Amino acid sequence: MKTIYQTDFSGIDGLALAEIARPIVPVNGILIKMTMLPVVPSDWKRELDPHATAEAAAKLPRTIGIGGVGRVVEVGEQQDQALMNRRVLIMNPKGSYSEYVVMTQREFVFPLPDAVSDEQAAALTAGPGTALTLVQAIHERAVNNVVITGANSVIGLVLLQQLSDFSGHIWPIVSSASQAYFRQQRPTDVCYTVTSLPVLTETTVVIDLAGSEELLQRLRTWMPAVPVISIALTESDVIDNLTFVHEEFNAAGYRQFICQIAAHELVIPVDRQFLFTQVKEAQRYAKMSHSRGRVLVTLTSKETIND
């Protein structure tokens, strides 16, 4: 079967398509034939830095990816037999960019209803869970205003949907280049640039998705003491009152997202799709283009190597 290996820490250029043996399914295993994979920032960050994420990634070569969608084709005798032939979303930080993936932790395997497409399910990886963490942080602070930088990102658009019951005011900050896209995704919402944002006098928190110290410094002109919660900056010498947060895996949260998608209460923005053999192009596109939705990689029957 095919897999995408990270061979060194040179970045995207260090990726290689390899052929390896199909995994043997243990008695507690679930074998998934993968069909759709997301391209997420943690991939190219880990390809440059072994310490970029919480998971150890220094042992090379390693299969890239942290999740995806596929169909269960084999179930070990000590696993949940009801999973057989089900489409599933998996979370697997040990690697998902293979034609077949073996899972042993049932809580990381999420059956999908027919109303949830492969594309929407795959796009749930690395984004909505972070948005849920941010929603909790916002409610804990009981503020009147929420300013969101990078609101046109996947996480930003999911966060806005998850804040539909927020009783205060939300101020999405979107660059001029991305405002048309944001309005297409959120036609009833008003977005702002730093210069068009009004002075906010009530309690406020800044949710930083963009990770730009320069942008946050400009916001400080209007809001010198407002706390900043960032998913991109772990620390800063120029931005005080900064708190870094990251997603804590929550299986119940992902089950909630799947139900929301099925009920048309949540839509994950999706951009382009690439073939499995175009992983380098997919990562370069996702890394260099303005955020226009999750980039996906698809495995097609034409690409499949005989087992």
What CATH number does residue 200 fall under? 3.40.50.720
3-state secondary structure of 282: helix
Tell whether 117 and 133 lie within a shared domain.
Answer: no
- Contacts of residues 285-288 at CB distance under 8 Å and 24 or more positions apart, as own/partner, are 286/39, 286/41, 286/44, 287/12, 287/41, 287/44
Residue range of the domain that includes 172: 128-244
Per-residue pLDDT of the chain (307 residues; tens, 9 = 90+): 999 999 999 999 999 999 999 999 999 999 999 999 999 988 888 898 776 655 555 688 999 999 999 999 999 999 999 999 999 999 998 999 999 999 999 999 999 999 999 999 999 998 889 999 999 999 999 899 999 999 999 999 999 999 999 999 999 999 999 999 999 999 999 999 999 999 998 999 999 999 999 999 999 888 888 999 999 999 999 999 999 998 888 899 999 999 999 999 999 999 999 999 999 999 999 998 877 899 999 997 555 444 4
**Sheet strands (E) in the chain:** 2-6, 15-19, 30-39, 62-63, 67-75, 87-91, 100-103, 109-111, 145-149, 169-173, 204-208, 228-230, 242-244, 270-275, 294-298
Residues 45 and 143 in one domain: no
Same domain, 8 and 65: yes
Q: What is the total count of domains within the chain?
A: 2
Which among 195, 219, 244 is the end of a domain? 244
Q: What is the distance between the alpha carbons of residues 236 and 254, in angstroms, rounded to a whole number?
A: 31
At 301 the pLDDT is 55
Q: Which of 227, 244, 261 is the last residue of a domain?
A: 244
Report the CATH number at residue 44.
3.90.180.10
Q: What is the pLDDT of residue 53?
A: 56
What are the residues whose beta carbons fall under 8 Å from the beta carbon of 187, sequence distance 6 or more? none
